[in-house]
Amino acid sequence: MRVGVITFPGTLDDVDAARAVKHAGGEAVPLWHGDHDLRGVDAVVVPGGFSYGDYLRCGAIARFAPVMQEVVEAARGGMPVLGICNGFQILCEAHLLPGALTRNHKLHFVCRDQWLRVENNETAWTSRYDRGAEILVPLKSGEGGYQADQRTLDELEGEGRVVFRYVGENPNGSRNEIAGISSANGRVVGLMPHPEHAIDALTGPTDDGLGVFLSLLDAVVSA
Amino acid sequence: MARVVVDVMPKPEILDPQGQAVANALPRLGFAGIAAVRQGKHFELEVADDVDDAALAQIAETFLANPVIEDFVVRRLDA
């Protein structure tokens, strides 16, 4: 399984994302923002950080990077794509996922270990979890408030496309406590918290995030 | 060259914590009577004469603003 991990200028979490892919038994393939091809990968992770300094809006400029044109096209063809944090913001700006991420309601950057509930275990990135399982992974973002109009929210809830939901106090004002969502076909998933930082007990609060990458392995192998 | 202004504002129904923080700071600074503040973005573009309104609208809608959360207004300034 070859999994592309994109690096934009200002990306921070590409190394941990690649490490998580390797931990799960995959091969991490570095992709550069200026690349015009995806080097034959089976899936792509768009990692966290501050692409292009987050100028204008988070993800607004990264969306137009050459590599993202390839990702959008491949995702429309069914390739699994995971956006974490800034990656989630980029996938929303690229219209692969609906809605937008806005400034945290209390304005503070939130950096803490966060409990999430897995609401949908039928996506390409969550099949290894039990539905309703609660996992503990780091959350570190200043613009993580998920916003969408009521019709979009009703659609996401009705179709089971809310994949992760915050447990306990809402950390950033996200509507419906939404931490992560998926595309209609369950292949594209974006979330604000960081499963790639929680893949072993040595470097993370738990190994709860590893299941995301193991799930992908299953999705790619069975495809 | 023409001068074009694009104003981008958070939609009324979208929470604007930055605007609220500004509003909350005003009484502390001794300014009374400001009921609410909304914070947005103001762009000034120097535009060649052959750029039409449709192109400007597309720039605003696809890049300068995110229509999911923001409204925008495009205005040509008289030279």
Domain CATH code at residue A206:
3.40.50.880
Q: Does A100 touch chain B (CB under 8 A)?
A: yes
Task: Show residues of chain B in contact with A94, CB under 8 Å.
Answer: none
Q: Quick check: helix, strand or coil at residue A159? A: coil
Query: Does residue A223 surpass a pLDDT of 80?
Result: no
User: Which chain A residues have a beta carbon less than 8 Å from that of B13?
Assistant: 149
A103 contact residues in B (CB cutoff 8 A) = 17-18
Interface of B with A in 14-53 (CB under 8 A): 14-15, 17-18, 21
pLDDT band at residue B78, thresholds of 50, 70 and 90?
A: confident
- The pLDDT mean for chain B works out to 95
**A162 has pLDDT over 80:** yes
pLDDT of residue B79 exceeding 70, the answer is: no
From chain A, the residues in CB contact with B18 under 8 A are 103, 107
- Which tens digit of pLDDT belongs to each residue from A18-54? 999 999 999 999 999 999 999 999 999 999 999 999 9
Residue B8's CB is within 10 A of a number of other CB atoms, namely 19
Domain residues for the domain of A54 are 2-222
Which position has the higher pLDDT, A221 or A176? Answer: A176
> Which residues of A belong to the active site?
85, 194, 196
CB pairs under 8 A between A and B: 36
- Give yes or no for residue B70 having a pLDDT over 80: yes
A25's tokens: 């038994």
Task: Identify the helix (H) or strand (E) that includes residue A136.
Answer: strand A134-141
In contact, A82 and A125? CB cutoff 8 Å: yes
Total number of domains in chain A: 1
Indicate the residue of B10, B13, B17 with minimum beta-carbon distance to A105. B17
Note down the domain range covering B46: 2-77
Give the mean pLDDT of A140-161: 97
Query: How is residue A89 annotated by DSSP?
Result: H
**CA distances for A70 relative to A31, A32, A41, A96, A186, angstroms:** 11, 12, 11, 12, 19
* Range B22-52 burial, b when 16+ CB lie within 10 A, else e: ebeeeeeeeeeeeeeeeebeebebebeeeee
Summarize pLDDT for B39-65 with one digit per residue, the tens: 999 999 999 999 999 999 999 999 999
Determine the residue among A54, A108, A147, A153 to mutate to test chain B binding: the one whose Cβ has the most chain B Cβ atoms within 10 Å. Answer: A147
Q: Which residue of B has its CA nearest to A106?
A: B17
B63 Cβ partners below 8 Å, 6+ apart?
A56, A60, A64
Given pLDDT bands bounded at 50, 70 and 90, which one contains residue A212? very high
Please check whether residue A128 is in contact with residue A215, taking contact to mean a CB–CB distance below 8 angstroms. yes
Count of domains forming chain B: 1
CB contact at 8 A, A2 and A40: yes
Q: How far apart are the C-alpha atoms of A22 and B48, rounded to whole Å?
A: 51
Burial of A219 (0-12, 13-18, 19+ CB in 10 A): buried
CATH number of the domain to which B44 belongs: 3.30.1280.10
Counted residue by residue, chain A has a size of 223
Q: What residue in B sits closest to A150 (Cα-Cα)?
A: B13
Q: Does B12 touch chain A (CB under 8 A)?
A: no
Instruction: Give me A131's structure tokens.
Output: 């539905």
Q: Give me the phi and psi of B38, to 5 degrees please.
A: -115, 135
Q: Tell me the per-residue pLDDT of A125-140, one tens digit each, with 9 for 90 and over.
A: 999 999 999 999 999 9
- Work out the average pLDDT over A94-107: 96
pLDDT in tens, A190-204: 999 999 999 999 999
Q: How confident is the model at residue A73 (pLDDT cuts 50, 70, 90)?
A: very high
pLDDT at position A47 is: 98
**Residue A92: count of CB within 10 angstroms of its CB:** 27
- Residue of B66, B70, B72 best to disrupt the A interface, most CBs of A under 10 A: B66
